[in-house]
Structure 1
């Protein structure tokens, strides 16, 4: 006869489904064309990534938003070539993840699932804006999460944590 107490039950593996994903906000400013700059330009691209996650009203549903700010400047002159801002959201159904592990799960695993779609959008929009397609490097969401936790701990005065 199988045990029925908490210690005898096997932990169910985490289960995640993407219910929806969508562009929440997108802005592309082609500053190069507004200035009428011509000739060959070497870009220097800076990418900022922010993540946000929240519980939805439906049971086991969470919304994760990846916010990118991409600025391309000309090497040497530092003139801005283009500025892109993208908020890309995913709605996830997540089960069998312990509460203490939910925060890192939402900010590491969920963005990993969204990233290929974000990369394609950035590539398409930069190409459609008249530039070579910008193929984002893979983002290490685990390192991003650890850096944010360390930054928050450093910003918290002693004794208030």
Structure 2
């Protein structure tokens, strides 16, 4: 309060940062492919699997205000450690539609590429587990993914690609 008791202070209250709001509006499988290559070739006997998981992320603005589409694309190959023969191949594109507000523009891209996939991951994991089990293999339970590291790796890859070769 000022000395005259009017309640007007020369210092204004500090401006509060806008509250971040995120809602998942929808999520769905855009594309799914699973091939049991081992059964197609008639491989029998014990095999030791060697599983390779590749992840790519993408995000784009939708026509509606504050709405974004986030895509997680998985390519999973399972090959025999002994022979190198493919056992199964799984490709999955999983999409989430998000309503995001209150995120500063300069932080929107990392938010979409880290926080949104983190929200989708448990559902994606369940789909992979169910599909591999229903495809004739033990259920594949994916380990947690570090989306911060995936984001950093993608930034580094893009920077390296943008460097002129000498």
TM-score range, shorter chain: over 0.9
Corresponding position: 1:87 with 2:87: no
Query: How far did 1:2 drift?
Result: 8.3
Hey, what does 1:61 align to over in structure 2?
A: 67
Aligned residue for 2:145, secondary structure, equals coil
CA distance in 2, matches of 1:76, 1:39: 12
Hey, what does 2:76 align to over in structure 1?
A: 70
Query: How far did 1:151 drift?
Result: 1.5
CA distance in 1, matches of 2:71, 2:8: 43
| RMSD, aligned CA | 1.7
1:42-79 residue CA offsets vs partner (Å, 9 max, x unmatched): 11000000001000001000000100000000111000
Unaligned runs of 5+ in 1: none
Q: Quick check: 85-94 or 11-20, which moved more? A: 11-20
Q: TM-score under structure 2 normalisation?
A: 0.90
* Number of equivalent positions: 156
CA distance in 1, matches of 2:163, 2:51: 35
117, 134, 159: which one aligns with 2:140:
134
Unaligned runs of 5+ in 2: 1-6
1:105-138 residue CA offsets vs partner (Å, 9 max, x unmatched): 0000000000000000000000000000000011
Q: TM-score under structure 1 normalisation?
A: 0.92
Hey, what does 2:19 align to over in structure 1?
A: 13
CA distance in 1, matches of 2:27, 2:8: 41
Corresponding position: 1:106 with 2:112: yes
CA distance in 2, matches of 1:7, 1:142: 35
